[in-house]
Chain A
């Protein structure tokens, strides 16, 4: 328990407009130890980005609200924290990398300036200008960008290089936790491989914990220790990478995800897609949210919300595991 960096319990987030309420995140719980990486996998609209923004309290002010649950970071309750203290944490102790490197950087400042800005804002070590400069150089080296390029503007860099700059900015203050929201989706596959390799090396070297948000199971397999599968705002399956990729049994949605991925090695001609679409978050189905699309749907799935069943480190939220002796129901605390 001492080593738990981040603990999220029963988090609930909604987006309220005057027309409707979007239930983006519906009671999710997971925890992250120091030095570990957890991958949150799911499709568009599952609520992954909302989760990340909630941790950093960056939800859109007028519409986004955390309506329940607890987020504890190194023992600090992040939800109850006053904004001024939250600002200290953002950037310095928890950093975030966004998906689109094209718009993550301010086009009117040089990249060196932007990295230095992060350092100046979180100057708990009281660095002088010279030291800040030195740290900028250090961090650029870390991500593989020649120091001479720090006076250049974002538009002079390619997509992959821009993402490296963004990563440099995020790591400049040596955060404890790095949240990466689909960091390589917008990049070409060979550049993606380079960037992922770099992220892995940096993580190993600096010991940063990481939340990797992605829809790509391949990336998760290559970079994450633990995996959480998200669907319609819920974590329907959580476990170690071993559990998820080599485990015998899975949530029907996870099975569907694996079946949808075109496989390089196998000779199968047809893919097995999951029929239908994710449910409308303003009108979630009663019972299990996946029931309309589930091949193994039973009567109980349509009426009762499934409990969470665990086997060791592997947790699945599905009625199919209710009567299985290997799986224990987790009591809601």
Chain B
């Protein structure tokens, strides 16, 4: 195919301006370069939302605490019992005081952060992957498969979340891995539904038809064309879910069916503190505040991300 001598409209490259070779080499790089600039756009929009920024800051701090927990306070401090310090009030030696067994609350909170956030993020991502995969297939293919899978999802949704999680934990036993599995099961229907409705909307768009006209196979259509356009609601769903999952894990631990003692986890800490509510309220206050902060921050971050991600925001 050769170049036409006529070009239409104002977009006429000046003679001698286009260096073909340079463009060939640079074409690949240029494309990558621009993708970063799109991220900058998103970041710029996110920055304007003060509440979302607050949420992001809090979460980043908590994530750093979780990652560097061992460096801040060794794990041994979180489980070392010292009955002489039983129910100690916050002091210079123990910033958050001590619990019923004399364990340092600050250490327990710090390591609890690690465990709670670990559960929160890993479960959210697991349900994203499983739910997303399932939802995009049934959304794109439709028909009988769609019907059957969605009725199963309805079934799961009809069971109260805590009961469903409890049932799975009861079957598998307690412990971090098992509560992750249990909570994932409860979160999957939500993801399937969100992804499916996005995919149904996108599958009708003409650029999908164009892709088929060009000979694109279904898997590539799903991954290259459909899913990237369904990202916005997915990202929001994932971040909101972290919030819910942390609360769920805390509830399970509170009921005694979560992490195994002496592992610290916010819910477990709150559970342990409930009998000392009147005598040593700080035991419940600290993990409680952390739980609220984390949950709230993920929520507002999710909201902010949803607003910032809309590609149709006209410049």
- A interface residue numbers (CB < 8 A to B): 19, 273, 275-277, 292-293
Contact = CB atoms under 8 A, between A and B. Distances in A.
B315 A276 contact: no
A286 to B, nearest CB: 18
B87 to A, nearest CB: 53
Contacts of B10: 275-277, 292-293
Interface in B253-298: none
B215 interface: no
Residues of B in contact with A, size category: under 10
Contacts of A19: 315
Contacts of B315: 19
Nearest 7 A-B pairs (CB), nearest first? Answer: A276-B10, A275-B10, A275-B9, A276-B9, A277-B10, A19-B315, A277-B9
Contacts of A277: 9-10
Interface of chain A, main secondary structure: loop
Contacts of A292: 10
A322 to B, nearest CB: 27
Interface string B1-38: 00000001110000000000000000000000000000
Given A275-B10, A276-B9, A276-B10, 8 more contacts: A19-B315, A273-B8, A275-B8, A275-B9, A277-B9, A277-B10, A292-B10, A293-B10
A197 B207 CA distance: 38
Nearest to B11: A276
B97 to A, nearest CB: 47
11 contacts: A19-B315, A273-B8, A275-B8, A275-B9, A275-B10, A276-B9, A276-B10, A277-B9, A277-B10, A292-B10, A293-B10
A292 B11 CA distance: 13
Nearest to A282: B315
A63 to B, nearest CB: 12
Interface in B162-182: none
A212 to B, nearest CB: 27
A276 B10 CA distance: 4
A291 B315 CA distance: 25
B50 to A, nearest CB: 14
A277 B8 CA distance: 11
A276 B315 CA distance: 20
A281 B8 CA distance: 23
A293 B10 CA distance: 9
B6 to A, nearest CB: 11
A44 to B, nearest CB: 13
A135 to B, nearest CB: 41
A278 to B, nearest CB: 11
A19 B315 CA distance: 8
Nearest to A276: B10
A273 B10 CA distance: 11
Contacts of A276: 9-10
Contacts of A273: 8
Contacts of A275: 8-10
Contacts of A293: 10
A166 to B, nearest CB: 27
